[in-house]
Amino acid sequence: MKSLWLRAAFAALSIGPVLAWGQSPVPLERFFQRPAVLDAKLSPSGKQLAISTSRGAARIGLAVIELGGEPKVRRAAQFSDADIVRFDWVSDERLVFSVRDLEAGSGEDRRYAPGLYAVNADGSDFRMLVRRRGLPTVRDASIRATALEWNHVLLHVPLQQDGVKPDEIVIGEMNFSSRDLQSITPIWLNVRSGRTRSMGLGDVPRNVTRWLFDSKGQPRLAGVRSEGRSSLHWRGPGQDSWRQIVESELLREPFHPSVVDDSGTLYITHHSGSEGYAVLTRYDFDAGKPQTPALVSAPGFDFAGSLVLDRAGSRALGVRVETDAEQAVWFDPAMKRMQALADERLPGRINRLSCSRCGAEDMVVLIRSFADRDPGQLWIYEAASQRWKPVSRMLDDIDPQRMAGVALERIKARDGRDLPVWLTLPAGVQPGKPAPAVVLVHGGPWLRGGHWRWQAMEQFLASRGYLVIAPEFRGSSGYGEAHYRAGWKQWGQTMQDDVADALLWARQQGLASPDRACIAGASYGGYSTLMGLVRHPELYRCGIAWVAVTDPFLFLKGSWWVDDDISDQGRRHMLPELVGDAQKDAAMLTAVSPLAQAKQIKAPLLLAFGEADLRVPLAHGERLRQALTESGRPPEWVTYANEGHSWRQVSTQVDFARRVERFLGEHLGKP
């Protein structure tokens, strides 16, 4: 890339000299830097590009680039005490956005709400629409006085419609009952005047917490969750009343809504086949069930992706889907040709397209091009002139040639279950020479952990010479309903065996050293780290656990003395089935409790917690620390003020990475 608009416009620092292999490793600060660009979106006309960027400023602001001819860059919004984290175009002239204080740590989330603001693309006519709970972050107190309270959130930004002045968005007023979100009521909000008006919801059921809108902002689907039950209610185009289309237990919903188009077609995902892989299809309202055959399926994976609709929201141009890597399947011939053009120009990468006037001869396309070794680059393609324009890198000073490759393997667990395992392979390791390994267990645990893309912790560990093994143990989502359900009530049991089997397989393949491995992870991954040291001490020389669940009983029951954010509905109707019933399964839960089994943890252990964590409160760490100390094996211990369940401050991430580097070097030896 000969030039980058944002570097030139904001006079960003130049990249230093690239170090050759055999010299000093990549400085760890580069892996945990604040992104140069968080997000980028084309305006409806395609004549402007908005980006959230930290270039040229201490905070992440909102910049707008005028496309066509010589690009012009200007700041639309910038704060000294907050970062712009989410934005959308309402029209070609106006944007809405919300903020977070990324310098304050993730503990900020328990005290502050993000607020909502509007501004013209040229930076004029700034308005606070929703107050930010906590510090106001606004230039004018008189504007603040007319804003809505903090419990209003952005729900939907309608696509621009022909002949309609696009001044309104859909926001939701949230109402809470105890720990739980009780309902969200959608209303129209004018982004210029700040005035609201009713949406005309008619006979909608009470306590709706999920909404699905068409491209015009009309509510079509309402979801209710109450007392362990889930129901969906539908009101299609031209209909006056809502009708229930499905009801089920929370953990046994027969399908999940994805998107609705303007004709009233509801696209859903549901599980199909013996392994229950999720597929994308339409909902048949007459039959009251998903249509067959499926529109999109991805054997070996749950469908995870989205439909790409045209500007009016009435036609699907294609679908994005992630299997081992992300790809796009285009129905529109012009978009299919555009994808081929992008893949030819930027080979060996994922090239994600978003566009204005999609498929037309004068379309404008934004391309986010990324790979396992590259955090990504932004390009603009103008079909009328057939010009490619580089915009920016997502992260600065990351040399893809010095990063590690990522691969997905499918192995067999000890009981024969299919077990996906992600490997991040350190560059420079000679074939046949096993590397010291870090088994990195993902959190959740009911989510997909691995992706074919650049990820900071994995790349950092690989840059230090460690093979990173990341298993998608049973209980993980993304690999079929059977794989997910096989993990129910299996914390510390077959889920833990899967983690061990991934390391044993890597050793059998000659990839991992036969006696140099540590286990690490956050949240559930931290729990698994601790149970790995309890159940399979012969496999691991050490463990690194952060924000880790250490006491299943505290997690399941809560405590009058320990504040957390786990919902009452989750504790009553979901966790007893997913993890265990604190009374009926007490013996099992004691056997898989790191706190109860603390005397079995003999390997060196690094423990880290956020002092403001509400998901896994600090009490989890303090209780285990005390138990280990009483057993004569005190852990290495660090806590971070104002951090919650994730590390948000760059200083925290860098400090923790430095501790991890030193700890692994001490207990695994230098790679």
226 or 290, greater pLDDT: 290
Residue 489 contacts residue 577 (beta carbons within 8 Å): yes
Whether residue 445 is preceded by a cis peptide bond, meaning omega within 30 degrees of 0, is yes
Rounded alpha-carbon distances, angstroms, from residue 437 to 295, 541, 664: 41, 10, 10
Query: Is residue 536 a part of any domain in this protein?
Result: yes
Give phi and psi for 506, each to the nearest 5.
-60, -35
Amino acid at 420: P
How high is the pLDDT of residue 143? Answer: 55
Distance from CA of residue 566 to its chain's centroid? 19
Q: What does the pLDDT look like over 110-126, one tens digit per residue?
A: 667 889 999 999 999 99
Determine the residue type at 645.
Answer: H
Residue-wise DSSP of 287-299? TTEE-SS-SB-BT
Scan for tokens 């395609």, then name that residue.
46
- Among residues 397, 344, 398, 409, the alpha carbon closest in space to that of 373 is found at 398
Reported as a pLDDT band with limits 50, 70 and 90, residue 163 is: low
Q: How far apart are the C-alpha atoms of 260 and 627, rounded to whole Å?
A: 53
- Which amino acid is residue 294, in one-letter code? A
Cα dihedral across residues 483, 488, 491, 497: positive or negative: negative
| pLDDT tens by residue, 230-275 | 999 999 999 999 999 999 999 999 999 999 988 999 999 999 999 9
Q: Which one is predicted more confidently, 19 or 128?
A: 128
Tokens read off for 309: 């609709």
What 3-state DSSP class applies to 16? coil
User: Average pLDDT in the 378-399 region?
Assistant: 95
Amino acid in position 535: R
Q: pLDDT tens digits, residue range 18-62? A: 333 356 889 999 999 999 999 999 999 999 999 999 998 889 999
C-alpha span between 237 and 336 (Å, rounded): 31
Instruction: Give domain status of residue 539, yes or no.
Output: yes
pLDDT band at 16 (very low <50, low <70, confident <90, very high): very low
pLDDT at 137 over 70: no
CA distance 134 to 104: 12
Q: What long-range pairs does 222-226 form, CB within 8 A, spacing at least 24?
A: 223/257, 225/250, 225/569, 226/569
Q: Are 7 and 629 in contact (CB under 8 A)?
A: no
Residue 399 lies in a domain: no
In a domain, 566, yes or no: yes
Is position 580 within any domain? yes
Q: What percentage of the chain reaches a pLDDT higher than 70?
A: 93
Please tell me the total count of domains within the chain. 1
pLDDT tens digits for range 563-609: 999 999 999 999 999 999 999 999 999 999 999 999 999 999 999 99
Predicted confidence (pLDDT) per residue in 405-420, tens digit:
999 999 999 999 999 9
Residue 179 has pLDDT above 80, yes or no: no
Q: What is the DSSP letter of 240?
A: -
State residue 489's pLDDT score: 98
Burial class (CB in 10 A: 0-12, 13-18, 19+), 570: middle
CB atoms closer than 10 angstroms to residue 255: 20
pLDDT of 4 reads 43
pLDDT value of position 111: 66
| Domain hosting residue 450, numbered range | 404-668
pLDDT at 430: 75
- Tell me, yes or no, whether 113 lies in a domain: no
Rg (CA), the chain: 25
What is the overall mean pLDDT for the chain? 91
* 11: pLDDT strictly greater than 50: no
269-301: string of b/e by CB count within 10 Å (b at 16+)? bbbbeeebbbbbbbbeeeeeebeeebbbbbeeb
Interval 63-84 mean pLDDT: 91
Run of H or E residues at 346: none
* Residue 452 included in any domain: yes
**CA–CA separation, 83 vs 61, rounded Å?**
6
- Dihedral sign from CA coordinates of 441, 410, 251, 307: positive
509-566: pLDDT as tens digits: 999 999 999 999 999 999 999 999 999 999 999 999 999 999 999 999 999 999 999 9
Asked if the structure places residue 509 within a domain, the reply is yes
At 490, which CATH number?
Answer: 3.40.50.1820
pLDDT of residue 359 exceeding 70:
yes
Start-end of H helices in 158-311: none
pLDDT score for 198? 95
E strand or H helix at 503, and its extent? Answer: helix 494-508
Q: Using the predicted structure, report yes or no on whether residue 208 has a pLDDT greater than 90.
A: yes
Are 424 and 435 within 8 A, CB to CB?
A: no
- Residues 448, 479: contact at Cβ < 8 Å? yes
3-state secondary structure of 55: coil
Helix 650-668 and helix 456-463, axial crossing angle in degrees, nearest 10: 40
